[in-house]
Amino acid sequence: MRVAIVVHRFPQLSETFIINQITALIDAGVEVQIFSYYRPDPSQKLQPQFKAYNLQERVRYGVPLPVNRVKKYTNFVRHINHKRLSFFNSLNFFKFGKEVLNLRYFYRALLFADYNEFDIIHCHFGPIGHDIVQLRSMGLLKGKVVTSFHGYDFQNRDILDEFRQYKQLFKNGDGFIANSNFTYKSLVALGCSPIKLIVIPVSSSSKVFDFQASNVRESAKVFKILTIARLEEVKGIEYAIGGMHLLQQKFNFGNFTYNIIGSGSLENKLKELVDKLELSNKIHFLGSKTQDEVFKFLLDTNVFLLTSVTTNAGAAEAQGLALLEAQAAGVPVVASRTGGVPDSLIDGETGILVPEKDVDAIASAIIKLYNDPTTSGEMGARGRTFVKENFDQEALCTKMISFYNKLLKANSARS
């Protein structure tokens, strides 16, 4: 089976689920080619799998659409040759409307200039799925189009308006993957046919199970709390910080440290809040980390915290991959009851769900786990089993390949 994986930027430290999925497909014997609109940030660390699987040989990068109008059309002329006459299909105003006038689809098509026939074209995030079904309808790509939705792509109002609620994508796309029941219901509400839709969660690398829990947590003198998240509104980090403040002020508990792994647009604002609450000696911003670095932090953590919220624009956590990584490492979790988060743990068994934005509930849950190490340990053990049984990367990959085959067989039946 020949599968194209199409992404916005590859690799991305914050999108470990994509590289995990790619390596699982390769391990399963699938012929994978990666197509990325943009190159990664050169200052970013690379995930170990990128080199281990020699993914640099499998990825092709697109030609960015110039912002400057003169450069945009000059480059257009430069890229046209006799082998690419079919690319003029991407300029058919009468069929595809004013979307084609900015040359968006022409530049997207350049990514596939040398490779354009596949069994499956798997797009990550709705906007990319929209692009690809359009390119296929222009005759520039061949293959069944599958689109995975992950969160912002079906919740951000500006994106939904730009892509007209994905009407064309839902009509012309062949298959769709939701990462949680919450995502599934949201996509159906937008107009996606349930017949084309399946739930396949994203998962952490199975390598996390290679790390065996030690006595580091039990012997630690300081109670360690960890969050792994983008520093954006939907992650609700300010409420986690508020919970840390309450640990000291209400519960008179100061024997803790709170590490935050991740980066984002709210980093400076959150650091200012930490300084204002005089918690800079307790709360540490560690920036982005590779999966292996994250796993090492998890092994030395007592509680994992994810205080996601529903944003002012209505966006919510679609799944919460970091919760799975924590539970796989045997760490009990405390998380907000929001979006698709309840799918990623068992409340009272592998962790504790708390109401959104409730700093008192956050602090109380942490104190409960601190005061009862036996229950905390049992939750960690059950969490590890829960992830193994429900989010095994190999099993999820098998389910996805079965979905691919179902789409291919449907095509054969019609022909």
Residue 398 is classified by DSSP as H
Find how far residue 55's CA is from the centre of its chain.
Answer: 19
Q: What pLDDT is recorded for position 13?
A: 86
Q: Does position 82 have pLDDT exceeding 50, yes or no? A: no
Q: What pLDDT is recorded for position 184?
A: 97
Tens of pLDDT along 123-135?
A: 999 999 999 999 9
Q: What percent of the chain has pLDDT over 90?
A: 75
Q: Where are the alpha helices (DSSP H) in 163-312?
A: 167-172, 181-190, 216-219, 237-249, 267-276, 291-299
Q: What pLDDT is recorded for position 411?
A: 65
Shortest CA distance to 25 belongs to which of 354, 404, 317, 384?
404
Q: Does position 369 have pLDDT exceeding 90, yes or no? A: yes
Q: What pLDDT is recorded for position 213?
A: 52
Q: Does position 291 have pLDDT exceeding 90, yes or no? A: no
| DSSP letters for 261-300 | EB--TTHHHHHHHHHHTT-TTTEEEEE---HHHHHHHHHT
- What is the edge-to-edge ordering of all strands in the sheet holding 256-261? 283-287, 256-261, 223-228, 303-306, 333-336, 351-354
Comparing 13 with 279, the larger pLDDT belongs to 279
Strands 2-9 and 117-124: parallel
What distance in Å separates the CA atoms of residue 384 and residue 304, rounded to the nearest whole number? 13
Comparing 63 with 382, the larger pLDDT belongs to 382
- Helix or strand or coil: residue 34? strand
What distance in Å separates the CA atoms of residue 341 and residue 351, rounded to the nearest whole number? 11
Q: Does position 279 have pLDDT exceeding 80, yes or no? A: yes
Under 8 Å between Cβ of 234 and 316: yes
Q: What pLDDT is recorded for position 107?
A: 86
The strand pairing partners of 254, in sequence order, are: none
What distance in Å separates the CA atoms of residue 338 and residue 355, rounded to the nearest whole number? 8
Candidate from 8-17, 116-125, 406-415 with smallest mean pLDDT: 406-415
pLDDT, average across residues 371-396:
94
Tens of pLDDT along 22-61?
A: 999 999 999 999 999 999 988 888 888 999 999 999 999 9
pLDDT, average across residues 230-257:
96
Candidate from 115-119, 219-223, 285-289 with smallest mean pLDDT: 219-223
**Tokens, residue 180:** 């949680």
What distance in Å separates the CA atoms of residue 415 and residue 398, rounded to the nearest whole number? 26
What distance in Å separates the CA atoms of residue 293 and residue 319, rounded to the nearest whole number? 22
Cβ-based neighbour number of residue 321 at 10 Å = 24
Q: Does position 172 have pLDDT exceeding 60, yes or no? A: yes
Q: What pLDDT is recorded for position 221?
A: 83
Shortest CA distance to 176 belongs to which of 130, 115, 108, 117?
130
Q: What pLDDT is recorded for position 64?
A: 83
Candidate from 96-100, 138-142, 148-152, 197-201 with smallest mean pLDDT: 96-100
Cβ-based neighbour number of residue 391 at 10 Å = 23
Under 8 Å between Cβ of 332 and 316: no
